[in-house]
Structure 1
Amino acid sequence: MSKGAPVQDGSDQPVRYECAVDVTAIQAVDMHVHLEVDSCGHKALPEDFFEASAKYFKAEERTPSIDRIAEIYREHRMAAVVFTVDARTQMGHEPNSIDDLVAGCARSNDVLIPFGSVDPRTGAAALEEARRQAEQLGVRGFKFHPSVQGFDPSDRQFHPLWEVLEQLGLPCVFHTGQNGMGAGLPGGRGIKLKYSNPLLLDDVAADFPGLPIIMAHPSVPWQDEANSIATHKANVYIDLSGWSPKYFPESLVRQAGNVLSRKVLFGTDFPLITPEKWLTAFESLPLKDEVRPLILKENAVRLLGLDAPAAQEGELRA
């Protein structure tokens, strides 16, 4: 399903990612970073989406390469979860190569962690491709954008896909809430916000309790719903990407410092929001000192399973 031929390492096999992130050497894990262009210059979405989102977010560098992303996060002493979105059916646009993304992350496996993506609307092919990305390429999770991909995640026709992903045991990021993609375009360029209501993910979380689900972004205008789901379902988390922290809903800030302190994850939405901009605003939030490292690093380390070697050495806080 990925665009183009598999990226290889001189053998007959595609490059497989092996994580080498040293959790003792980083200060944060950014759970939400987009790779918008592959090594062949192919963009993840049609050009008008890039122009509209760049205007909406006032982004300066819209399509950094995978190697440039690695440089930025290495400079900040951070790890980053990197992904693209396969929306071929809805967009009529071939996605970026997942093989290419994984190969790039493998070159910088000290700071980059690849997530895969499949188009749920491709049916059985999505199941096969999800297995391939996990088992052959070594992706550490998956990214979905129900509005951009044009599907209702609670629809039973997608249960076989969630069953496969539950069996793989890898976390899945789902876009929720307001949408910068298509913002300001006539009809939002066909993007339907209803598919990004977090209540649709409550069904998935209940039916597939072994599937870790990350609700991406403050889920405006459904933030209370997202808070409730993350509180109720042990397998559901919230990442804080896509918004400057100074604009976070008050209920999200309050619960992030309390009942959701171990369920909330740092994320920027880079390149749309830079780590510097996000962290500067984060410093002003009324959070306890002991909560900040949970959000910035420790919750992600635990969710991604990065803590096993370090935990044996007693180097991570309990």
Structure 2
Amino acid sequence: MDLAGLTAIDVHTHAEVSSRGGTSLDDALHEASSAYFKIDSAARRPTLQEMAAYYRERKMAAVVFTVDAEHATGNAPVPNEEVAEAAAANPDVLIPFASIDPFKGRAGVRQARRLVEQYGVKGFKFHPSIQGFFPDDRLAYGLYEAIEELGAIALFHTGQTGIGAGLPGGGGIRLKYSDPMRVDDVAVDFPDMKIILAHPSFPWQDAALSVATHKRGVHIDLSGWSPKYFPPQLVKYANSLLQDKVLFGSDYPVISPDRWLADFAALPMKDEVRPKILKDNAARLLGLVADTARPAS
């Protein structure tokens, strides 16, 4: 990967369709979230090769993953192996993460090890609200042990989700599972595991800032929202105490990096902070450069 030639690293993008035709969400959840984000649901399912071309055209790299919530939804995810193989075929722009349903137990732990050791996966995406578990539930601790030992990253969805929004009962998805404070125990119990709290964590933004400020290994990505809607305290912390721990993420394909970057340009960010958020912090966290910074602890 030509890091110097990249304008940005997007740490949060979704593989929503498999080359075999499978999708990560069933039709009801897909349509509801498309309506929530006000996007064309038909145009929302780029293939992995199309994603690679999209980011290559923009001189950006992208972390890409599926969401495995098969226990709760009955829907099989886009295969992690397919995501990793697409990244291996496009190493200049795609960085592979995986997702493993915590309810898979020891089989999930074995899968995690194989994905890192044989497929070069760099991290794991958890979506507690869709997967139906609290991050500090001991059922996930075997996975965390493997992730920490392997030097991989754990990325947790936090805050409200557009998945299920507007459906009766939110499509059965419970927001309570994605309170970022439930990641605090995880950060204590796995102090060497690198963690990303995904999204502005509405309605728990202050909790996310508190955990990220207090726990050295915890970072925040800014995906899922247009920057023009960021809470003021998030902008303040990103511009100061957490400037080495905040990461650009779009949530593509529901939010395009073009839209995100245009709105980010209008934020009152310090000139020296912008490149950290857009690329430098992610490059360090992903191991693309040596870790010489000491984030706030």
Same fold (TM over 0.5): yes
Superposition pairs of residues 267-282 of structure 1, within 5 angstroms: 267-282=249-264
**Aligned partners of 2:102 and 2:139 also within 8 Å:** no
- Offset from partner CA, 1:9-51 (integer Å, 9 cap, x none): xxxxxxxxxxxx1111101000000010011111011111110
Match of 1:297 among 238, 260, 279: 279
Secondary structure, in 3 states, of the residue corresponding to 1:273?
A: coil
Cα distance in structure 2, aligned partners of 1:157 and 1:274: 34
Question: Aligned pair count?
Answer: 290
The aligned residue for residue 75 of structure 2 is 93
Cα distance in structure 1, aligned partners of 2:58 and 2:236: 27
Deviates more, 1:240-249 or 1:55-64: 55-64
**Aligned partners of 2:103 and 2:139 also within 8 Å:** no
The aligned residue for residue 44 of structure 2 is 62
Secondary structure, in 3 states, of the residue corresponding to 2:44?
A: coil
The aligned residue for residue 4 of structure 1 is none
Report the Cα offset of residue 117 of structure 1: 1.1
**Aligned partners of 1:240 and 1:267 also within 8 Å:** yes
Secondary structure, in 3 states, of the residue corresponding to 2:12?
A: strand
The aligned residue for residue 288 of structure 1 is 270
Cα distance in structure 2, aligned partners of 1:232 and 1:99: 35
Secondary structure, in 3 states, of the residue corresponding to 1:124?
A: helix
Report the Cα offset of residue 252 of structure 1: 0.2
Cα distance in structure 1, aligned partners of 2:82 and 2:140: 26
Q: Give the root-mean-square deviation of aligned CA atoms.
A: 1.2
**Aligned partners of 2:226 and 2:259 also within 8 Å:** yes
Do structure 1's residue 42 and structure 2's residue 22 form an aligned pair?
Answer: yes
Unaligned residue ranges in structure 1 (runs of 5+): 1-20, 312-318
The aligned residue for residue 249 of structure 1 is 231
Report the Cα offset of residue 59 of structure 1: 2.1
Secondary structure, in 3 states, of the residue corresponding to 2:197?
A: strand
Percent identity at matched positions? 56
Cα distance in structure 1, aligned partners of 2:22 and 2:266: 38
**Aligned partners of 1:85 and 1:143 also within 8 Å:** yes
Deviates more, 1:239-248 or 1:159-168: 159-168
**Aligned partners of 1:49 and 1:182 also within 8 Å:** yes
The aligned residue for residue 139 of structure 1 is 121
Cα distance in structure 1, aligned partners of 2:147 and 2:258: 33
Secondary structure, in 3 states, of the residue corresponding to 1:242?
A: coil
Unaligned residue ranges in structure 2 (runs of 5+): 292-297
The aligned residue for residue 231 of structure 1 is 213
Match of 1:151 among 133, 142, 151: 133
**Aligned partners of 1:59 and 1:271 also within 8 Å:** no
**Aligned partners of 2:29 and 2:163 also within 8 Å:** yes
Superposition TM-score, scaled by structure 2 size: 0.96
Cα distance in structure 2, aligned partners of 1:96 and 1:35: 7
Cα distance in structure 1, aligned partners of 2:192 and 2:131: 24
Superposition pairs of residues 104-115 of structure 1, within 5 angstroms: 104-115=86-97
Aligned amino acid, residue 174 of structure 2: K
Aligned amino acid, residue 95 of structure 1: P
Do structure 1's residue 27 and structure 2's residue 4 form an aligned pair?
Answer: no
